[in-house]
């Protein structure tokens, strides 16, 4: 990236490529950059490119929303990759031109595609039916997305992970089921899985790789814990506790099973899942959660969903966050890594020493006198 008089040098490069072929279009200066990435949802990138002259304007104009990908490279490692979806050309009162770009990780492509028949005509008889290991079904959805119709292959590759959990799923033409919604619905089931697209450079060929990673029940990266201390690598931390997002009971509601149009339509409901250990033994009050799943018509599936949702939101929801200084000791592959957090201060006078898993990362490159930092979103393991 280029620098200004108020920006210190950074080791980052913004590489813009053709989405389908991954051929490099250009390496362009990108300032005021923030990127984030998460397990289970699309991450984002935002940044601004200066357009000081006609030559730079010609280069920047080659970026086309919806068909251009962008990678953020730190040193020799890819830290982020995704698709440019929107841009904003701006001119200030001094006539200074900039182009702001917003991108989302490659998962976002699955959020822009619907499961349809392989012909342009509506085919009410078409049905995509998948049965087997749930991770095979997840890969099959991505395979169908990329190969069933022309123009859908964005180069996402797959591994061979297994879960030993067998499922069956079916999707019909005309339902316009979004591929990402189908993946998320499968992943959310009891004994489900996590999915995430990582980007990295192949150490042998040097080619950029977009890899669908799957983990059941969780994605884990690396064989050893990262160790981060405060005082030390940890610059700041936040441990929010939110009882408004948690509960001690949960009910999942599905589609209406009423076929009589003359009578009231009512949704199918699960059995209420109850955290009896908290209500009956620990003295917690009853706090109710509910969720809607309009495409589910099976009561047993809804009941399993209610148990899964309650397990994830029992009591107060806590998503710890730490801010760390990026240096050579912090690897690029952070998502799914386990980290040992050690904090000694007034609150943790006896010292906190707890293991967490990194489920999200927000990177802020160095600029305006600020060092490279990363905010890590954690869950206790």
| Model pLDDT for residues 209-249, shown as the tens digit of each residue | 999 999 999 999 988 999 999 999 899 999 998 888 899 99
Using only C-alpha atoms, what is the Rg of the chain?
Answer: 23
pLDDT tens digits along 68-127: 999 999 888 999 999 999 999 999 999 999 999 999 999 999 999 999 999 999 999 999
Tokens of 171: 């999707």
Structure confidence by residue, pLDDT tens digits, 343-371: 999 999 999 999 999 999 999 887 667 78
Phi-psi region of 111 (alpha: psi -120 to 50; beta: other; left: phi over 0): alpha
Orientation angle between helical segments 179-187 and 134-147, nearest 10 degrees? 180
What is the homologous superfamily of the domain 12-105 according to CATH? Baseplate protein-like domain - beta roll fold (2.30.300.10)
Determine if the peptide bond prior to 20 is cis (ω within 30°). no
Per DSSP, the chain holds a count of helices (H) and strands (E) of 6, 24
d(CA 232, CA 19): 40
The H-or-E segment that residue 60 falls in is helix 54-60
Q: Which two tokens stand for residue 197?
A: 């697209």
Q: What tokens does 369 get?
A: 């006198």
Per the document, the length of the chain is 381
Read off the pTM.
0.89
Q: Rounded to the nearest 10 degrees, how much is the dihedral formed by the CA atoms of 346, 228, 199, 112? A: -20
- 43 burial level (CB within 10 Å; 0-12, 13-18, 19+): buried
Domain segments of the chain as ranges: 12-105, 127-215, 221-240+331-380, 243-257+267-317
């Amino acid at each position: 990236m280029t620098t200004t008089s108020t920006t210190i040098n950074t080791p980052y490069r913004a590489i813009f490529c053709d989405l389908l072929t991954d051929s490099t279009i250009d390496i362009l200066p990108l300032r005021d950059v923030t990127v984030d990435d998460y397990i289970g949802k699309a991450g984002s990138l935002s940044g601004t490119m200066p357009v000081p002259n006609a030559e730079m304007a010609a280069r920047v104009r080659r970026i086309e929303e919806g068909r251009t990908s962008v990678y953020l490279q730190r040193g020799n490692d890819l830290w982020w990759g995704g698709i440019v979806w929107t841009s904003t050309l701006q001119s200030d009162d001094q006539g200074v031109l900039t182009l702001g770009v917003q991108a989302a990780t490659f998962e976002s492509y699955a959020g822009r595609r619907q499961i349809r028949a392989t012909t342009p005509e509506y085919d009410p008889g078409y049905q995509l039916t998948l049965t087997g290991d749930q991770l095979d079904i997840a890969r099959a959805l991505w395979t169908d997305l990329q190969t069933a119709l022309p123009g859908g292959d964005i180069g996402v590759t797959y591994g061979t992970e297994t879960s030993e959990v067998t499922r069956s799923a079916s999707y019909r033409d005309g339902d316009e089921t979004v591929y990402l919604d189908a993946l998320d619905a499968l992943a959310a089931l009891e004994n489900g899985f996590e999915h995430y697209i990582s980007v990295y450079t192949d150490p042998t060929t040097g080619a950029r790789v977009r890899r669908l990673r799957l983990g059941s029940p969780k994605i884990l990266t690396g064989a050893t814990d990262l160790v981060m201390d405060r005082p030390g690598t940890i610059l700041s931390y936040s441990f929010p506790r939110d009882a408004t997002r948690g509960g001690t009971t949960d009910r999942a509601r599905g589609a209406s099973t009423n076929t009589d149009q003359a009578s009231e339509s009512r949704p199918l409901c699960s059995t209420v899942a109850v955290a009896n250990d908290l209500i009956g033994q620990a003295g917690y009050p009853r706090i109710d959660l509910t969720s809607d799943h309009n495409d589910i018509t099976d009561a047993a599936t809804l009941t399993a969903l209610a148990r899964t949702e309650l397990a994830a939101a029992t009591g107060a929801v806590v998503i710890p966050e730490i801010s760390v200084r990026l240096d050579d000791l912090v690897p690029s592959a952070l998502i799914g890594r386990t980290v040992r957090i050690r904090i000694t201060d007034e609150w943790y006078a006896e010292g906190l020493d707890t293991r967490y898993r990194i489920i999200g990362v927000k990177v802020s490159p160095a600029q305006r006198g600020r060092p490279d930092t990363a905010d890590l979103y954690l869950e206790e393991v």
